[in-house]
Each structure stands twice: as C-alpha cells, then as structure tokens.
C-alpha cells in the first residue's frame, strides 16, 4: 500500500510544482491515448438544477445527449444527483438513475457520480421548478437549513447509504463524488465531512472523491481519505496560469500515486467589469484543450450541452457554455476537434452554428 501524504506535504508538493518543469511523454505506454480520462460535465440542456434533471427525467434526452459524447470520443461524464428528487419518489429516482448509468455504459462512458451539490440557491419549490432561462437557478442539495443543522442529517445519511447499497461495486461508475464544492465555508465542510464518513463506512470497489474548488482546497479532502483528487479552474485569465496549474496536478499525481482530475474547465477569459465582452461570452475550449491534452491530465470540461451558464450571475453577463445544440450541431467545430484530440484522433465532422439556443435567446435580448 502506498503511504499517504500529510496535508502539509500535500500542500508543499502543490507549491513546489509551480516552479517545476515536468518532462516526458504524457502517455503511460506506446499507443495509449494522450489523456486516459476524457469527460464532460452533463446536465440536460434545459435543466437549470439537478432536481429538474431527475424529477422529470427524460430517457430520450439522455440517450440523445450521451450519444453526442461518443462523437467526441469521450469515455466519461460527470453528473450530480438530487436529494430533493429522491425524497419525493425513490422508486422513480432509482429507475432514472439506472437508465442513465446503463445508457452511459452502452456508449462507452463511465460516470463520475456526485451525491450532493454545494453550489447554488436554496432549494425552495420556486427555485427547484423555475425553468425561466433568465431566473432558473442551481440549488443547494440539500439546503442550507439541513446542512447547518446536524439534527437533520439522518435523511442525507440515508441517501448516501441508498446510493452506496446499489452502486458501491458498480463498474459503470468511475468514482462517487460525495459533494460538489463544499468549499471553504465551515458549515458546508462539517456537513460534507460527516457524510463522507458514511460514504467510507459503505465503501466498495468504486473510488471515492469530493469536488474541490482548487488543489489547495482538495488538501482537506485528502486528509479525509479520498481516492481521487479533483480540482476546478473554469476561467483562467491566461494560458500561462493554466499551464502552471496543470504542472502542479501532474507533479501531485506522480508524488502521491493518487489520480488527479481537472473536473471543471472552460476557456481563457477575464470577467472583470460589469459586462463580459461579447467575444468572451461563448465557448472557446480550443483555448485550453491543447494544454490539457499535452499535460495528459484526466479531465471533464463544462459542459457537453450548449446552455446558458449554470450560475445566474454569469448567465446575466451573457455567458454561454457547452459544445452541442440539441440537434447535434456544435457551437464551434474547432472546439470539438480540440476536445476529440485528447483521444489521439482530432477527427470531427459536423455542422457549426454559433447561435444561442432558440429557447434561451431571450437572455441576449436583456443584455
């Protein structure tokens, strides 16, 4: 068994890597693809939070969208569950989840499956059901009231056990992610730590992880006993900063022998000021994908489907992200080719259409 770093050594490795030039091939053996974990974040295009994905689950939409992932030669997707949808109808939720996992498996995709969501607004009925492209919002799952009150943690514990009872040894899963971005707020971290202890108690063959805002943030979760380190960097303001972070990730992987995945990334952008430049509002994965490919870091770009930004604040600046329109056209063929190149083959053929989805075009009228 490989001995684990302490938190101090973990952070020290990250800091030292910023000045270390990593050399050598990014493949593990001759013929391997440049990147072994090639994934995308997935929510249905018209779902603004995870409740909307699962409470009104549409099998045909999942089958269509995950088929697009095949066209990019991806082998993984990342998505999150909904505690609120599970509470409403566990049987229907279980059927939907099994369909999602089987659909992914049928297309050669393994799933990084998140249980809780630490980003968004309160899961009030209005927020959960709001499908207006201007106001629809991501939601905490569970809500802040639950996360702050240990007396209300029995329900979330049951949810964790329910997931693990069914999927602890499920080969369709790449890993189980306890929570997306508990971040630095102590009330979220206390809740996440307690739930992670339940996850460990229910451990099977599937690796365990937590969605971290940064490598520094991931140090806390490393002490908890995660099997996979995640970190996010959606909008670096320069390729130099992004390249340095990828060097840190590679050095950390080599030093700890723990997989390190960049589980959210999008494009080079600078969102200073009140309104984003029109040139920075749309996707531009080609600005970063070659760096990810050359570093050989396992990754998940945000997001597979073209849709207004997940965070309302970004959406109201006109930020759009994703690759595929619902009819299979792409925003930018060069983006698609840059992402596909991580498999070792940048071949991609398809229609390019740099237009907002018609169902969301009202956002641009309000900017």
What pLDDT sits at residue 111?
98
Measured in residues, the chain has a length of 367
Round to whole Å and give the CA distance between 318 and 15.
Answer: 35
DSSP 6: P
Using H for helix, E for strand and C for coil, what is the string for 140-207?
A: CECCHHHHHCHHHCHHHHHHHHHHHHHHCCCCCEEEEEEEECCCCCHHHHHHHHHHHHHHHHCCCCCC
Round to whole Å and give the CA distance between 178 and 83.
Answer: 12
Round to whole Å and give the CA distance between 301 and 218.
Answer: 19
What pLDDT sits at residue 271?
72
Q: Measure CA 245 to chain center.
A: 17
Under-70 pLDDT residues of the chain = 1-31, 272-276, 278-279
Three-state SS at 28:
coil
Exposed/middle/buried for residue 290 (C-beta within 10 Å: 0-12, 13-18, 19+): middle
Tokens of 358: 């018609």
Round to whole Å and give the CA distance between 166 and 164.
Answer: 5
User: Taking the domains of the chain in order of start, what are their residue ranges?
Assistant: 7-18+34-365
Residue given tokens 């619902």 in the structure block: 326
Q: Please enumerate in sequence order all residues whose Cβ is within 8 A of that of 319, keeping only pairs 6 or more positions apart, or say none.
A: 271, 276, 280, 281, 308, 309
What pLDDT sits at residue 15?
54
Q: At residue 289, what are phi and psi to the nearest 5 degrees?
A: -55, -40
Round to whole Å and give the CA distance between 175 and 197.
Answer: 16
Round to whole Å and give the CA distance between 344 and 36.
Answer: 10
| Residue-wise DSSP of 69-126 | HHHTT--EEEEE--HHHHHH-HHHHHHHHHHHHHHHHHTT-EEEEEEEE-SSB---HH
* Architecture of the domain delimited by 7-18+34-365: Alpha-Beta Barrel (3.20)
Distances (CA, A) of 12 to 7, 176, 206, 255: 8, 27, 28, 11
Q: At residue 211, what are phi and psi to the nearest 5 degrees?
A: -75, 115
What pLDDT sits at residue 273?
59
| Residue-wise DSSP of 262-326 | EEEE-------SSS--GGGSS--GGGTHHHHHHHT-EEEES-SB-EE-SSHHHHTTT-EE-SB-T
Round to whole Å and give the CA distance between 162 and 30.
Answer: 41
What pLDDT sits at residue 4?
56
Q: Of 260, 270, 266, which is closest to residue 226 (Cα–Cα)?
A: 260
């Amino acid at each position: 068994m490989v001995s684990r770093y302490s938190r101090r050594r973990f952070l020290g490795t990250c800091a030292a890597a910023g000045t270390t030039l990593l050399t050598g091939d990014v493949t593990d053996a001759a013929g391997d693809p440049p990147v072994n974990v090639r994934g995308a974040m997935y929510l249905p295009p018209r779902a603004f939070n995870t409740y909307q994905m699962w409470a009104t689950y549409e099998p045909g939409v999942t089958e269509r969208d995950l088929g697009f992932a095949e066209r990019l030669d991806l082998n993984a997707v990342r998505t999150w569950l909904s505690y609120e949808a599970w509470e409403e109808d566990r049987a229907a939720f279980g059927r939907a989840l099994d369909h999602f996992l089987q659909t992914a498996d049928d297309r050669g995709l393994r799933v990084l499956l998140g249980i809780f969501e630490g980003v968004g607004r309160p899961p009030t009925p209005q927020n959960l059901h709001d499908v207006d492209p201007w106001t629809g919002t991501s939601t905490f799952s569970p809500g802040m009231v639950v996360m702050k009150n240990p007396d209300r943690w029995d329900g979330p514990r049951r949810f964790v056990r329910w997931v693990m009872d069914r999927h602890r040894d499920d080969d369709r899963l790449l890993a189980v992610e306890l929570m997306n971005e508990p971040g630095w707020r102590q009330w979220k971290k206390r809740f996440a730590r307690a739930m992670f202890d339940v996850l460990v108690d229910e451990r099977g063959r599937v690796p365990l992880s937590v969605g971290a805002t940064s490598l520094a943030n991931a140090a806390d979760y490393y002490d908890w006993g995660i099997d996979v380190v995640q970190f996010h960097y959606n909008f670096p303001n320069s390729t130099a900063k992004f390249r340095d972070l990828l060097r840190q990730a590679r050095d950390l992987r080599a030093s700890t022998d723990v997989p390190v995945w960049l589980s959210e990334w999008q494009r080079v952008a600078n969102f200073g000021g009140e309104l984003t430049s029109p040139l920075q509002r749309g996707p531009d994965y080609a600005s970063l994908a070659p760096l990810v490919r050359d570093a050989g870091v396992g990754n998940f770009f945000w997001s597979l489907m073209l849709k207004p930004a997940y965070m309302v604040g970004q959406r109201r600046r006109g930020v759009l992200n994703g690759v595929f329109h619902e009819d299979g056209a792409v925003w930018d063929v060069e983006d698609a080719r840059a992402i596909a190149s991580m498999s070792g083959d940048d071949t991609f053929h398809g229609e390019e259409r740099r237009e907002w989805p018609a169902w969301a075009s009202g956002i641009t009228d309000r900017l």
